[in-house]
Chain A
Amino acid sequence: MRIKPFLFLTSMLMFLAQGAVCGEEVQVAVASNFTAPMKAIAADFEKASGYKAVLAFGSTGSFYAQIKNGAPFEILLSADAETPEKLEKDGSAEAGSRFTYAVGKLALWSPKTGVVDDKGAVLGTGTFAHVALAAPKLAPYGKAAVETLDSLGLTQKLEPKFVQGENITQTFQFVSSGNAELGFVAWSQICANGKLKSGSAWVVPETLHRPLRQDAILLTPGKNKPAAASLLAFLKGDQAKSVILSYGYSLQTKEGS
């Protein structure tokens, strides 16, 4: 009777250890704005390569703290370009592995039709109680939103109406639940196959803010792992690129690999 729990535990341990040693998985930390496209890409990648991409979604700032404290991620798909750069400088990532996998598009959106015009002129009227944006200090889309308002000369006027989500997902919730009449969200959140899903939106011209470059980097635990190298190569391939485009991101033509 005593041997049974022991056997059970050992077999559990062996089962768990198997996953760890077989090396056919790659652990990926993914910025939450890239959740949907990355799920699609991971499925394609699994079919094409036989490797499995294990995805964790979260904010880039949290990932940075976790990676610095020994999180076993092998690849980071960041929401910005600064964090991968910093990780490379810190020595937590492989030098020269950074590249831009997607460029985000910022959009001003309301779930109601006829609220946001296609030039964003509604911002100047101030006929709303709240405008939602991601916290500019934390989220690249928030920073781009403030840069946009700066370019339009509206930051001071609208600041009292700001409500800030911790990230772009929460900002989207503030607007989609109607608690904020309009807000700056990621175009990828509100489009399907290049078209606006519902409501009214203004895709902010990229001349009004710095580009929302999202960079990927190979982290130290992923060094010399074929699965990790394979996923990075897959992300640069045409199949992944067409998925990325279909989710409302653009691509940078020059590749910095």
Chain B
Amino acid sequence: MIASDERSAILLTLQLSAVTTVILLVIGTIIAWWLARTRSRWKGPVGAVVALPLVLPPTVLGFYLLITLGPNGPVGQFTQAIGLGLLPFTFAGLVVGSVIYSLPFVVQPLQNAFEAIGERPLEAAATLRSSPLDRFFTVVLPMAKSGYLSAAVLGFAHTMGEFGVVLMLGGNIPGKTRVISVQIYNHVEALEYAQAHRLAGGMLLFSFLVLLAMYTLNPTGRRS
């Protein structure tokens, strides 16, 4: 029932979201931990930069990425010099774009979770001679579990809904960069409203179920 290019778009979108979420959970942990603990005067600026994708139109982000990752851009020249080639029009390029685009959706829940833990449990663990790494895995991770759940769900879902960045950076290549949102746009522009409805409806349902699961598993009132 599902046409092959629809299937490849769905698969690609899930892949992109999964890879992006995993990377973001690692990077996000580091940034959120620093933001939650630091007293540096850079806390404000760094927090603002992390939050930028919340307010910037994705096309702005995509446009700058296209230029900086391109052959004349600083990052593009770097990736070429180390033999990676150019990132635009590749899956890796979309991952880079998505990581930036979804960054605040992962960092902010984690930061809130880390801040809610406070210093005391960590100090208590330290008096029991727990190493920093040990403290992170045995104290912080369990206590921030629901923060991680929110971060993962929001990061994943937000990447699935990404459009502007992918549009600017992707080049609409079937199986490589043509994700669901672009496919829906293609259908609408080509006046194929039936196909557009099917994908768009599926996306709506999926997003609702994901968020429903998150809010049911993670009711407010428990640890944020």
Contacts and interface: CB of A to CB of B under 8 A. Distances in A.
A137 B171 contact: no
Interface in A70-105: none
B141 to A, nearest CB: 40
A163 B172 contact: yes
B112 interface: no
Contacts of B189: 59, 61-62, 135, 137-138, 166
Contact of B89 (A64, A65, A137, A179): A179
A200 interface: no
A187 to B, nearest CB: 22
Contacts of B71: 178-179
Interface in A44-73: 59, 61-62, 64-65
A166 B88 CA distance: 15
Given A61-B191, A62-B189, A166-B189, A130 B172 contact: no
Given A164-B172, A166-B172, A179 B86 contact: yes
A184 interface: no
A135 B187 CA distance: 12
A132 B171 contact: yes
Contacts of A137: 186, 189-190
Contacts of B72: 177-178
A173 interface: yes
Interface string B157-185: 00000000001100111000000000001
B70 A179 contact: yes
Interface residues of A, number: 23
Contacts of A59: 189
A221 interface: no
B60 to A, nearest CB: 13
A248 interface: no
B188 interface: yes
A173 B66 contact: yes
B155 to A, nearest CB: 26
Interface string A154-178: 0000000011111000100110011
Interface string B185-209: 1101111000000000000000000
B191 A163 contact: no
A135 B66 contact: no
A55 B3 CA distance: 38
Contacts of B67: 177
A164 B189 CA distance: 14
Nearest to A167: B189
Nearest to A68: B191
A138 B186 contact: yes
A16 to B, nearest CB: 26
Contacts of A61: 188-191
Contacts of A173: 63, 66, 168
A211 B88 CA distance: 32
Contacts of B69: 179
Contacts of A62: 188-189
Given A170-B168, A173-B66, A164 B173 contact: yes
Contact of B188 (A65, A164, A178, A179): A65
Contacts of A170: 167-168
Contacts of A165: 171-172
Interface of A: 59, 61-62, 64-65, 129-130, 132, 135, 137-138, 162-166, 170, 173-174, 177-180
Given A135-B189, A164-B173, 6 more contacts: A130-B171, A163-B173, A166-B189, A174-B88, A178-B70, A179-B89
16 contacts: A59-B189, A61-B189, A64-B191, A65-B191, A132-B171, A138-B189, A163-B89, A163-B173, A164-B171, A166-B167, A166-B185, A173-B63, A174-B88, A174-B171, A179-B70, A179-B89
The 10 closest A-B pairs by CB, nearest first: A163-B171, A61-B189, A164-B172, A178-B71, A179-B88, A138-B189, A179-B70, A177-B70, A163-B89, A137-B190
